[in-house]
Amino acid sequence: MHMPALREDLRGLWLLVIWDLNRMKSRTLFVVMRVSWFALQVSLFGLALSAMVRFRAIAGTNLDYYHFYLFGIYTSMLFSISVSKAYDIAEEFEEGTIEYLLSLPFPRRVLALGRSIGGGIASFLFTLPMFAFIVYLLGSYDPVALTVSMISALAFSIGVVGFVLTVVLSLKSSDSTDIAFGLLDAILVRLSTVFYPALVLSKIAPYYYAALVNPLSHMSDLLRTIFFFEEFKAIAVANPDLMAAYVFGLAVGLSTLAVLVVEKAVEGGGWK
């Protein structure tokens, strides 16, 4: 590729990322609601759950369930906020913004990648206050753990937004988007190690195997092992290297899928 073309592509990518970040301002209410939900989850729901489970006996760790839960609930929040991009994209389709973006003078691959990265960064930034809050509750401020976990969270978010982009642009329907992502969110969060370790899930075989391939399991267990390796290594779905590879593979794979779909299949109009 010629350098000017590459420079143009990078400029387009940058503009799209900025565009997605600017749209964050219109979602203040959404953030307020999510933060309230999160605050109640960790201060009431999480503490109550940790009082009623036999976590140390089951997991054989010297940490209590609340530590386990905090990483899980952060992952589920990151996932839900990234998935909520689906509703934004559906709205853009209804308003004709997608057609406008498709007509802009940069390649489709730049559009797909720019929206995946921009949406991923915006979703990750939304969850930063929540991430800071759980770090404060855990009392673990290891700079390496903080950096690696934030990079992983960003990669995870980019992957999920790439997937969302692919699905919404393929479905081209507000109703189908609503039901598909509502159900996906409900099922994936529960069929993962967000609330319970793989060890407990292993008592129900189909749930266990679903959790093993579920990206939420890999992300939440990766965060757990980044911060408390010794305590959580035995109950994670895989070793940390594999989980990290899974999360980064997810980001690259799903963004590439978004590029392929936007390049080959997406046309303006036809929204149902």
Partner 1 sequence: MSKSGEFRSIALIVYRDLTRFWKYKFWLAGQIGMNLADILIYALVFNNMVNTQLIPDYFKFFTTGVIAIAAFASAFSIGREVGIEIRREYTHYLLGLPFTRWVLITGRILGGTLRGLIYQSSFILLAALLVGVPDLYGWLLIAVTSTALSASMSGLAIAISSSTKDFNLQATFRALTYYIFFFFSNVFYPRQVLAMRFPKPLAEAIGYMPVSIAADIYRWAFRYNLEIDIGQRFLLLMVWTTGMLIMASLIYLWNLTRG
**Cβ proximity to partner 1, 80 vs 116, nearer residue:** 80
**Cβ proximity to partner 1, 90 vs 121, nearer residue:** 90
- Using DSSP's 3-state secondary structure scheme, residue 25 falls into helix
> Should residue 190 be labelled a site residue for partner 1 when binding is judged by CB under 8 A?
yes
For residues 106-141, b (16+ Cβ closer than 10 Å) or e, as one string?
bbbbbbbbbbbbbbbbbbbebbeebbebbbeebeee
> Should residue 203 be labelled a site residue for partner 1 when binding is judged by CB under 8 A?
yes
**Cβ proximity to partner 1, 45 vs 100, nearer residue:** 45
Q: Is 32 exposed, middle or buried (0-12, 13-18, 19+ CB in 10 A)?
A: exposed
The distance between the two most distant Cα atoms of the chain, rounded to a whole number of Å, is 62
The CA–CA distances, whole Å, from 146 to 134, 211, 249 equal 11, 25, 21
**Cβ proximity to partner 1, 177 vs 255, nearer residue:** 177
> Should residue 204 be labelled a site residue for partner 1 when binding is judged by CB under 8 A?
yes
Long-range contacts: 136-144, Cβ < 8 Å, 24+?
137/42, 137/70, 138/67, 138/70, 138/227, 140/227, 140/228, 142/227
**Cβ proximity to partner 1, 14 vs 208, nearer residue:** 208
> Should residue 179 be labelled a site residue for partner 1 when binding is judged by CB under 8 A?
yes
> Should residue 227 be labelled a site residue for partner 1 when binding is judged by CB under 8 A?
no
**Closest approach of partner 1 to the CB of residue 194, in Å:** 10
**Cβ proximity to partner 1, 191 vs 258, nearer residue:** 191
> Should residue 196 be labelled a site residue for partner 1 when binding is judged by CB under 8 A?
yes
**Residue 86 and residue 241 in contact, taking contact as beta carbons nearer than 8 Å:** no
Q: Which of 178, 230, 241, 263 binds partner 1 (CB under 8 A)?
A: 178
DSSP string of 54-77?
Answer: -HHHHH--SS-HHHHHHHHHHHHH
- Span 14-53, contacts to partner 1 by CB under 8 A: 28-29, 32-33, 36-37, 40-41, 44-45, 47-53
The one-letter code for the residue type at 17 is V
> Should residue 186 be labelled a site residue for partner 1 when binding is judged by CB under 8 A?
yes
Q: Which of 31, 35, 58, 125 binds partner 1 (CB under 8 A)?
A: 58
Token match 């609601």: residue? 33
Token match 């404060």: residue? 136
**Cβ proximity to partner 1, 33 vs 213, nearer residue:** 33
> Should residue 54 be labelled a site residue for partner 1 when binding is judged by CB under 8 A?
yes
The one-letter code for the residue type at 205 is A
Residues in contact with partner 1 by the rule CB under 8 A: 28-29, 32-33, 36-37, 40-41, 44-45, 47-55, 58, 175-176, 178-179, 182-183, 186-187, 190-191, 195-196, 200-201, 203-204, 207
